[in-house]
Structure formats: C-alpha cells, structure tokens
Amino acid sequence: MNINELNKNELEDWKKACKIAARALYYGKSLIKKGNNLLDIARKTDEKIISLGGEIAFPSQISMNQIAAHFCPVKNNNPVLDNQIAKLDVGVHVNGFIGDNACTVDLSGENSKLVKASRDALNNAIKVIKPGITLAEIGRTIQETIMDFGFSPVRNLSGHGLGKFDVHTKPTIPNYDNGDETEIKKGDIFAIEPFATNGYGVVIETSNPTVFSLVQKKPVRDMTTRQVLKEIENYKGLPFAKWWLEEKFPLFRVNLALKQLENLGIIKGYPPLADRENGLVSQAEHTILVDEKAIVLTKS
C-alpha cells in the first residue's frame, strides 16, 4: 500500500500498529530462554499486543532450527526451548493496518554469524531503499550480504506489501536478485524479511498446519463445525492459530471442524516451512515506509 491512499487517521493507525509490534517483539524476544515452552511465549506475546492497545494481525509464531516460518505450538506439540535457534514473528493491526516484524535468538551460542547474516541483510537493504530503486536491487543487496557471511538466502521466501486486513500484498520484496525491474515509489509501505540459511536456500512444506485463515464463506451442515466457523469469522479473514480454538473447544471438535472446513475450501492451512536440506535458518524483519530514504516503522 502507499500512504497516498490513506487519510491522516489511517496513517496514524498504521504507525501505532508498528510501534506496538516493535514493543511486543521486544517483549516476546525476552521470553525466548532455555526451559520456556513455546505456547507460553506465544500466548504472552499475543496478550502483550492486546494490552498495548493493538489487535493480533497473525498469531505470534516461533519457528525453530530448520523451520523458517509458520510454526505455532499446539497443546500436544509444545516444545521446550533448549539449544535451538528460534525465530519470533509478530504482527499487529490497528483498525486493519498492519505492523510486521521478526527477530532470531540463538540459544546454542554457536550460530551468531547466521543470526547476524539476516540482520545485516535487513539493515543493508534498508540503507539502499529510496524511490526508484528496483526490487532486484534490493534482493541483490540482501543476497550479497548473506553470501558474504558464507550462507544462502532463502529464495522462495520474501518480504511483502501490507494492506488493510491483508498481511501479504504486492510488492514482493525478493531475498535475491530475481531480475524484477519494478521500481519502489515514495510512500510505499512494506515489510523487508531476509532469511539466511546454512542449508539449501529453498523451503518446503513439512508437517500439518497449525496456522490457518478464512478464504471464503460457505454454508456448513455440521453443528460443531458451524460453531467453530463462527469463532473463526471473528478473526476478520486474518491468520489464526489452532491453539486459539483449542482454548475454546475440545480438541476433537477442533480437529473435526478444521478438517471439514479445509475440505470445503472455507479455510486454508499454512504448513511449517523448512529448509529442503534441514539447514538452520535465521530471520529478521521490519516494516518500512519509503520517503527520500527508508523510515523504519517497527523500530524498537
């Protein structure tokens, strides 16, 4: 989206969402410690968003080791942190306008270079952004920074535009030089999201999804599924976590409803994404506004 499409109040909502996202990420990062379990971290981070006056744009995700994105814990799969490299991704909206940011914490003490690779790639991309720069040039900066550390960018994950009640819109901000000569315009708002890996640099879908979103409304005959769908409709089409439903309904009802809703094409699941060769993955992300240079809206 571009700020020229927004009125003053909408722009203020966007800036507020980004400030809350930054504070929630900082808080969630402080919880990533050995011995803590992921569900507690996710719940407390989500609660922090609400306490700061925001709403959840997508469930706080904590993806570990070779998993790059889309992992949310559930009650029967709730890992305890030990020596993992953990990526925390936090999204906030205010009246539909979204702030998105992420960071990586290395609990092993052995992967500081990998963490620095994605963080420096993000910072270097921010430095080169200005009106008229092409998407390929941004991607080249990210790619070269990560490769200088001896790692590979994850080529099929990317930064993205942000819209009202829409987490992923145009433009797609590549993490490598993909040859896209589309130029960035003054006033654009989007998220830059480098991923670095010591693996192959391409992610694939792995286990069953625990993150979903509503894609269309259809009539549902089963009473249990209708009740779960009514709850899902409260999320306004934004991604939601399976564990949110587990807090409100018995597990067997949740599993049944999600399966039926997926089969009917009413919801879409987002399976965890892992490096194809199980390489470790780091991530860094900010939401930025393009002025004469990039302004970081999610600056802590």
The set of catalytic residues is 89, 100, 160, 168, 193, 285
Strands of the sheet with 152-153, listed across from one edge:
152-153, 195-197, 281-283
Q: Give, for 86, the enclosing helix (H) or strand (E).
A: strand 85-94
Residue reference for tokens 């990062």? 29
User: Residues 269-298, buried b or exposed e (16+ Cβ, 10 A)?
Assistant: bbebbbbbeebbbbbbbbbbbbeeebebbb
CA–CA dist 211, 261 (Å, integer): 13
Residue reference for tokens 């589309």? 182
Residue 77 is given by DSSP the state B
CA–CA dist 181, 208 (Å, integer): 36
